[in-house]
Structure 1
Amino acid sequence: MQVKVKLFAYFRDNRFREEIKDLPVNTQVGEVVDGLGIDREEVGVLMINSRHCTFETELREADILAIFPVVGGG
């Protein structure tokens, strides 16, 4: 299945802004995050098709997965 993955902020460094990924059916969001070498502790927001999701959410054909880092500041 094909899924569009969009990265935000410093997750784009040495990666990509958005990319179409060919993934096996029943792939979970966490597997994509792990495959990109992103530490799960650094992930602030995960969204599929503009709706919040979790690492355990299964992706479907033509989904758009957005991965945002934790926002820090003070």
Structure 2
Amino acid sequence: MNVKIKLFATFREGRFKVEEREFPEESQVGDVLQSLGIAPEEVAICLVNGRDAKEDRILEEGDTLSLFPPVGGG
């Protein structure tokens, strides 16, 4: 199945901004994180099709996964 992945802020460093990737059916958000080398605890906001999602969310064909790290400011 094809999933669009959008990375934000520091997650883009050494990776990409937006990319479509192929994953096996029944893949979960955690499987995508693992393939990207991102630990679940590093993710502050995880959205699937603009809605809050957890690591165990099963993805479907055409889903868009957006990942945001914690952002600090001062």
Q: Quickly name the TM-score band, shorter chain normalised.
A: over 0.9
Residue number in structure 1 paired with 2:36: 36
Are residue 64 (structure 1) and residue 64 (structure 2) matched? yes
Opposite residue 54 of structure 2, the aligned amino acid is T
CA distance in 2, matches of 1:31, 1:24: 10
CA distance in 1, matches of 2:13, 2:53: 23
In structure 1, stretches of 5+ residues that fail to align are none
Opposite residue 26 of structure 2, the aligned amino acid is N
Per residue, is there more strand in 1 or in 2?
1
TM-score (normalised: structure 1): 0.94
CA distance in 2, matches of 1:54, 1:73: 25
In structure 2, stretches of 5+ residues that fail to align are none
Aligned pair count reads 74
For the aligned residue pairs, the C-alpha RMSD in angstroms reads 1.0
CA distance in 2, matches of 1:66, 1:28: 13
| Identity between Structure 1 and Structure 2 (%) | 47
Over 6 Å off, 4+ runs: none
> How many angstroms does 1:71 deviate by?
2.1
TM-score (normalised: structure 2): 0.94
